[in-house]
């Protein structure tokens, strides 16, 4: 396959800032079709990427069935992921889908099953797997350089939910469209990133979730609408080997943009992964290792080797072309993640530990 022709469904913020630029950067991908129910979104794709009228669709079935489309890119609200990805799998076309992949664990199980049965290649866009410092941290752990892992502490803070931001009732605040709030939006990333970097599976967890702002102005200015998802989600988890993990997730982290910190403490060393600390979207890694590091309490910033620097949408192309490095999230990773999200929701409602 000389050039993979991609049709993209959902031309919103994540598509415009991540997916479409990534497709344009890739020497192996070409954007040939788009789909959105919003005419403005289609005009954007026409003007920005030169997509002709015949390849601008309002029904995703038409895009998937278009003979000019080899692979499908899915960046819709969460409640549409399942039906679009399932249609792509049933049509035998590779797909990349945003997270969380679906609304429930049952949907995730079915989508994963059909994808496997049809032999369709897939990628879930857990984008922080493509941060070079996260991949470097994974490599250090796989080489045994910090020994047995005792603790992982994961923090993911944004600020746009604060009352002062006056964010209206966008789809991310409505359960029927998003499934969960900060948990699905940010917490699913955190769950996947810790699992990816440590190589450990989750055994059980307990959570505390809540909502600070219960009403927001409707997008049509017709009044106030109800927020029925979480604004924050904190949870504890036990992982393989007894590793203890903590997660702090919120959209109410004053002053934060897309702020992440992951601290990993082992028997012979510690790693700190950072995103958005030094500058927006800049990722860094610090380590403390050996007796000297232990005695001096010194964490050293490491330069990141070029081999850990990869691109998300190019990784999708590599999966299709059969030359992937095996580190991008598959539909099976998405399925595992969805069950974890469901468990956090259940635990938040009952206050009880959930065995996984």
pLDDT in tens, 165-206: 999 999 999 999 999 999 999 999 999 999 999 999 999 999
Query: What pTM was estimated for this model as a whole?
Result: 0.96
Per-residue pLDDT at 2:
77
pLDDT in tens for each of the 356 residues of the chain?
Answer: 579 999 999 999 999 999 999 999 999 999 999 999 999 999 999 999 999 999 999 999 999 999 999 999 999 999 999 999 999 999 999 999 999 999 999 999 999 999 999 999 999 999 999 999 999 999 999 999 999 999 999 999 999 999 999 999 999 999 999 999 999 999 999 999 999 999 999 999 999 999 999 999 999 999 999 999 999 999 999 999 999 999 999 999 999 999 999 999 999 999 999 999 999 999 999 999 988 899 999 999 999 999 999 999 999 999 999 999 999 999 999 999 999 999 999 999 999 999 99
The continuous run of DSSP H or E covering 29 comes out as strand 29-35
Q: Rg of the chain over CA atoms, in angstroms?
A: 20
Question: Is there a cis peptide before residue 100, judged by omega within 30 degrees of 0?
Answer: yes
Architecture of the domain delimited by 4-127: 3-Layer(aba) Sandwich (3.40)
Nearest one of 125, 156, 127 to 263, comparing CA atoms: 156
CA–CA gap between residue 202 and residue 205 (Å, rounded): 8
CA–CA gap between residue 180 and residue 184 (Å, rounded): 5
Per-residue pLDDT at 333:
98
Place of tokens 């967890």: 205
CB of 60 within 8 A of CB of 346? Answer: no
E-state strands within 170-315? 202-210, 215-217, 224-226, 232-239, 244-250, 259-266, 269-275, 283-289, 300-301
Nearest one of 253, 115, 134, 110 to 189, comparing CA atoms: 134
Per-residue pLDDT at 352:
98
User: Domain 132-308+330-355 falls in which CATH fold?
Assistant: Dihydrodipicolinate Reductase; domain 2 (3.30.360)
CB of 49 within 8 A of CB of 23? Answer: no
Per-residue pLDDT at 1:
55
CA–CA gap between residue 107 and residue 96 (Å, rounded): 16
Query: Where do the structural domains in the chain lie, given as residue ranges?
Result: 4-127, 132-308+330-355
- In the chain, how many H helices and how many E strands? 13, 17
Place of tokens 């415009």: 16
For the stretch 10-46, pLDDT in tens is 999 999 999 999 999 999 999 999 999 999 999 999 9
């Amino acid at each position: 396959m000389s050039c993979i022709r991609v049709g993209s469904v959902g031309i919103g913020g994540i598509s415009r800032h991540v997916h479409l630029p990534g497709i344009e950067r890739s020497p192996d991908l070409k954007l040939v079709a788009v789909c959105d129910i919003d005419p403005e979104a289609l005009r954007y794709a026409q003007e920005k990427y030169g997509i002709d009228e015949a390849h601008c669709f309002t029904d995703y079935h038409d895009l998937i069935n278009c003979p000019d489309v080899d692979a499908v890119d899915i960046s819709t609200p969460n409640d549409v992921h399942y039906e679009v990805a399932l249609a792509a799998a049933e049509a035998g076309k590779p797909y990349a889908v945003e997270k969380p992949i679906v609304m429930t664990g049952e949907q995730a199980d079915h989508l994963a099953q059909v994808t496997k049965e049809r032999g369709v290649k897939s990628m879930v866009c857990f984008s922080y797997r493509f941060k070079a410092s996260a991949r470097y941290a994974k490599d250090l752990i796989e080489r045994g350089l910090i020994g047995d892992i005792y603790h992982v502490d994961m923090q993911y803070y944004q600020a746009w939910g604060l009352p002062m931001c006056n964010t209206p009732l966008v789809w991310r605040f409505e359960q029927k469209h998003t499934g969960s709030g900060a948990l699905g939006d940010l917490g699913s990333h955190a769950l996947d990133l810790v699992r990816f970097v440590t190589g450990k599976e989750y055994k059980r967890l307990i959570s505390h979730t809540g909502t600070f702002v219960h009403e927001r102005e409707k997008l049509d200015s017709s009044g106030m609408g109800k927020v029925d998802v979480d604004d924050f989600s904190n949870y504890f988890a036990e992982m393989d080997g007894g590793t203890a993990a903590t997660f702090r997730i919120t959209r109410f982290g004053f002053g934060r943009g897309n702020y992440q910190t992951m601290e990993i403490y082992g028997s012979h060393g510690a790693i700190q992964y950072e995103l958005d600390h030094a500058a927006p979207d800049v990722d860094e890694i610090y380590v403390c290792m050996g007796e000297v590091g232990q005695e001096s309490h010194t964490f050293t910033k490491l330069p990141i080797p070029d081999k850990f620097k990869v691109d998300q949408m190019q990784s999708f192309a590599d999966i299709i072309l059969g030359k992937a490095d095996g580190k991008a999230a598959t539909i099976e990773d998405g399925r595992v993640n969805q069950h974890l999200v469901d468990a956090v929701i259940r635990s938040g409602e009952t206050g009880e530990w959930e065995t996984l």
